[in-house]
A and B are shown apart, each in its own frame.
Chain A
Amino acid sequence: MSPSKPAQPEPLLSVDDLRVQFNTEDGVVHAADGVSFDLRPGEILGIVGESGSGKSVTAQTLMGLTRSPNATITGSVRFHGTDLVAAGEEQLQSIRGREISMIFQDPMTSLNPVYRVGDQIVEQIEAHKEIDKQDGKDRAAELLASVGIPNAKERVNNYPYEFSGGMRQRAMIAMALALEPRILIADEPTTALDVTIQAQIMALIQSLNEERGLGVILITHDLGVIAEVADRVVVMYAGQIVEEGSLDDIFYDPQHPYTWGLLGSLTRLDQPPPDRLPQIAGAPPSLLAPPPGCRFRPRCPHAFAKCTEPPELEERVGASGHADRCWLDPSDKRELREVEGRIGLEAPRAGEPV
């Protein structure tokens, strides 16, 4: 959000051509298909996409959580000279939680119900370094207090059921921060929470980023949340990045019709409502057999002959760092994306299959 940040610092984390495939009974699911992006120090990178876009699989793969006999993972994830894709389990364990932490969507199921919250935080610390019991407990209380839990000294002895949803997510964040990691991966951290609590959690993540320089990968389906906190944005669709750019690129000069559709389908409470809510026709494709060529083609009202060839993720407009996967001529897009005075995706042409 601060333009004063240096233009291109050395990335903290560099993902290159990451591919994750799962062998299932029905065939091979191409969950992430050639995903590349950098996370720069102190930045909040937003990854937006719908269910099945591959955003969570990508995040979990960064942490080595998708490894299984059924999974094929290729490409690289560079973090301080280590390739997290090739790293051994032991090496990963020394990074996971200590250097890169993750919080999940559902704080109800992420905590063990039969252990005290404080003990779970201590356990996290103990996994990486020796700490005596009292120190551990003090540290846990300190951490809970730092994420805004009142009466943290007493609260460390509570069980998860004694915490509300918002407090559990705060506890998860406290646990993730226990070893002062450099990167926090937040996978839909507010989706399961009430709106007024969502605002609290996003404010907390933002202050951690500003005060500690924590690099954050924020995964969400909500572009509104992104507008609030992110510095750069990656838009994913059907296992691929379809557009990537700065916050301003994505919101004020979006290049991919899917991004237009996402922007158009959002309700803006600060503007009078349109007569009809703009929608994206159809549904995302199956990742067992994604459509050939541009994957958004079957839902795109602007598709033309060339779209049967797969477009690469390239910088097609001047702005450096703003890349997209769309064959349309960038000079036509300004007009095409204008629907009823704002950015959106027009309704599909009659007779087109959706």
Chain B
Amino acid sequence: MAKGDPLLEVSHLVKRFPIKEGLLIDREVAAVHAVDDVSFTLHEGETLGLVGESGCGKSTLCRAIIQLLRPSAGSVKYQGKELVGLSRKQLQPVRRDIQMIFQDPYASLNPRKRVGQIIGDPLRLHGLASGSQLEREVQQLMERVGLQREHYNRFPHEFSGGQRQRIGIARALALRPKLIIADEPVSALDVSIQAQIINLLDDLQDEFDLSYIFVAHDLGVVRHVSDRIAVMYLGKIVERSPASVLYERPIHPYSEALLSAVPIPDPKVEAEREALVLEGDVPSPVDPPPACHFHTRCPWATEICSQDEPPLVDYESGQAAACHHPRNLDAQTISGATIAADSPETATDTLPSQAEREPAPTR
């Protein structure tokens, strides 16, 4: 798949939510480090899968990209143009190009508006269509996403979850965007409907030359749609990888655990598989563990993991991972690794080959 120019360049993006205390003077006592120095590039026509558990910052990252939340630091460039610091008015043309689809099709549609109005509003607000032309365009959109045009005047509650997600997709498509950020678009849907929505998004990508950022909390769903996948844990990208390689050879132990946690629907395979079940819960992003955030749950963690933050390291397979003890790689690949240009600023420059290789504690 040949991919075009960089469409979106996110570099060292940070979003912190201060926690304030005090009666007269607000003192900042702590902060939630929701997005903590995240960098990636999305090319035209490409789909980036963004995967992580609740609290890893994936939704905040999406909102910080389109400036719904103002980033605390870092830069977001869309077609080479810096978005951070732009005023609402300056952002308006960009917002036409970047649209969002949300997780909950029940909560993200106004229950008092008719479907035609919901889908047509973006066109109306941007002054692109009105009257009968608007109605015609909306009906075309409805048909394209698999809704019946006769349902133009219905209310959202008259539709099932899958159909509502189609409404959300039609609304996002209305302005002919270049980039769609889909925040867990199928997580709330039944399995048989999930496949319908994913196939629809796949078709629309080819038809409208779309790029996607596709957010999910497990690795099962994103496999189909993604060209590349970024795995997040507690505000940081721990692994960035071409999709096909990640499923065969995850480098970061957390990616490996996420893969292992998706059950395989085949009892015989499942019975023989040795699942890597992580212990404990995801720590609080208010006070994340020092150095490598994952070391408290990692079966392979050693002393260095709690002392030096691992840099994001590029491997020859096109993968990049932030881990002192990378998995599924041979010694030669590890020694050939280099620190990625956009490795977090707080990370040390200890390459995995330099990290001491003491045997992992047995559990």
Determine the chain A residues whose CB is within 8 A of the CB of B53 once the complex forms. 194-197
> What's the count of A-B pairs with C-beta under 8 Å?
119
Instruction: Find the A residue at minimum CB distance from B159.
Output: A283
Q: Is B346 at the interface (CB under 8 A from chain A)?
A: no
Chain A contacts with B in 156-200, Cβ cutoff 8 A: 164-167, 194-200
Determine the chain B residues whose CB is within 8 A of the CB of A223 once the complex forms. 191, 265
1/0 contact trace for B259-289 toward A, CB 8 Å? Answer: 1111111110111000101110110000000
Determine the chain B residues whose CB is within 8 A of the CB of A50 once the complex forms. 190-193
Determine the chain A residues whose CB is within 8 A of the CB of B335 once the complex forms. none
Once bound together, how far apart are the Cα atoms of A104 and B251, in whole Å?
36
Q: Is B299 at the interface (CB under 8 A from chain A)?
A: no
Q: Is B196 at the interface (CB under 8 A from chain A)?
A: yes
Shortest CB distance B335–A (Å): 30
Which of the segments A10-18, A126-134, A261-269, A333-341 contacts the partner chain? A261-269
Determine the chain A residues whose CB is within 8 A of the CB of B259 once the complex forms. 269
Q: Is A208 at the interface (CB under 8 A from chain B)?
A: no
Determine the chain A residues whose CB is within 8 A of the CB of B260 once the complex forms. 199
Q: A interface, how many residues as a size bin?
A: 35 or more
- CB of A276 within 8 A of CB of B202, answer yes
Once bound together, how far apart are the Cα atoms of A269 and B260, in whole Å?
9
Q: Taking A195-B217, A199-B260, A276-B199 as contacts, is the C-beta distance between A265 and B194 under 8 angstroms?
A: yes
Chain B contacts with A in 30-62, Cβ cutoff 8 A: 53-54
Chain A residues close to B by CB (< 8 Å): 1, 50-51, 164-167, 194-200, 203, 221-228, 247-248, 251, 261-263, 265-270, 273, 276-281, 283-284
Q: What would 29 A/B residue contacts be, using CB atoms closer than 8 Å?
A: A51-B161, A194-B217, A195-B53, A196-B53, A198-B261, A199-B277, A200-B278, A203-B277, A222-B263, A223-B191, A223-B265, A224-B264, A226-B265, A227-B263, A227-B270, A228-B263, A263-B265, A265-B191, A266-B265, A270-B264, A270-B266, A270-B269, A277-B198, A277-B224, A280-B195, A281-B196, A283-B160, A283-B163, A284-B190
Lowest 8 CB-CB distances: which A-B pairs, in order?
A224-B263, A279-B195, A194-B53, A280-B192, A50-B190, A195-B261, A277-B195, A164-B281
The residue in A165, A195, A200, A228 that gathers the most chain B C-beta atoms within 10 A of its C-beta is A195
Once bound together, how far apart are the Cα atoms of A1 and B220, in whole Å?
25
- CB of B263 within 8 A of CB of A225, answer yes
Q: Is B162 at the interface (CB under 8 A from chain A)?
A: yes
- Set A1, A263, A269, A283: member contacting B271, Cβ < 8 A: A1
Q: Is B17 at the interface (CB under 8 A from chain A)?
A: no
Once bound together, how far apart are the Cα atoms of A52 and B281, in whole Å?
32
- CB of B191 within 8 A of CB of A221, answer yes
Determine the chain B residues whose CB is within 8 A of the CB of A221 once the complex forms. 190-191
- CB of B266 within 8 A of CB of A251, answer yes
- CB of A200 within 8 A of CB of B277, answer yes
Determine the chain A residues whose CB is within 8 A of the CB of B257 once the complex forms. 196
Q: Is B247 at the interface (CB under 8 A from chain A)?
A: yes
Further contacts, 4 of them, CB under 8 A, given A199-B260, A265-B194, A270-B264: A51-B161, A261-B192, A269-B223, A280-B192
The residue in B192, B202, B218 that gathers the most chain A C-beta atoms within 10 A of its C-beta is B192
- CB of B224 within 8 A of CB of A273, answer yes
The residue in B217, B221, B264, B282 that gathers the most chain A C-beta atoms within 10 A of its C-beta is B264
Q: Is B219 at the interface (CB under 8 A from chain A)?
A: yes
- CB of A247 within 8 A of CB of B267, answer yes
Once bound together, how far apart are the Cα atoms of A59 and B316, in whole Å?
52
Q: Is B339 at the interface (CB under 8 A from chain A)?
A: no
Once bound together, how far apart are the Cα atoms of A346 and B259, in whole Å?
28
Once bound together, how far apart are the Cα atoms of A301 and B104, in whole Å?
30
Instruction: Find the A residue at minimum CB distance from B276.
Output: A199
Instruction: Find the A residue at minimum CB distance from B56.
Output: A194
